[in-house]
């Protein structure tokens, strides 16, 4: 991965920040659980 690019995840420092944020907040788990919900029920 290069040091600079146009997308946030293309920058080494930004990718590390996003990874840390996802780990600290559990955001990926919340999104996954939300996508698995029954649409008719929720």
Q: Where are the domains of the chain?
A: 7-42
**CA–CA distance, 8 with 17 (Å, rounded to integer):** 10
Say which DSSP state 29 is in: H
pTM of the model: 0.51
In tens, the pLDDT along 1-42 reads 455 677 766 788 888 888 899 899 999 899 999 999 998 887
**CA–CA distance, 19 with 11 (Å, rounded to integer):** 12
Quick one: pLDDT at residue 37?
94
CB-based contact 11:5 (threshold 8 Å): yes
Quick one: pLDDT at residue 24?
94
């Amino acid at each position: 991965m290069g040091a600079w690019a146009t997308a946030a995840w293309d920058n080494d420092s930004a990718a590390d920040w996003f990874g840390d944020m996802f780990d600290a907040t559990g955001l990926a788990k919340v999104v996954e659980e939300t996508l698995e919900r029954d649409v008719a029920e929720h």
